[in-house]
Amino acid sequence: MAHKFVIEKNKAGEFVAKFKHNGELIWWTEGYSSRASARNAIASILKNGPAAAVEEEE
């Protein structure tokens, strides 16, 4: 699969959820103190993201 979520530790030792496409980093979340919190962030994105509005700013 070309798209995937990856949970990694950052330099501060926090867990970060990253979204990658073909190995390229597209975006990432803030740092979380636990892996479970990073997983919750991914679950929230999957649940709420498809219905999110798109805003364009000039």
pTM for this prediction: 0.84
- Would you identify the CATH topology of the domain 3-49? Double Stranded RNA Binding Domain (3.30.160)
Q: Which two tokens stand for residue 40?
A: 């919750």
**Residue length of the chain:** 58
In whole angstroms, give the CA distance from residue 56 to residue 19. 21
In whole angstroms, give the CA distance from residue 40 to residue 21. 20
Q: Is 17 exposed, middle or buried (0-12, 13-18, 19+ CB in 10 A)?
A: buried
The string of pLDDT tens digits covering residues 13-50 is 999 999 999 999 999 999 999 999 999 999 999 999 99
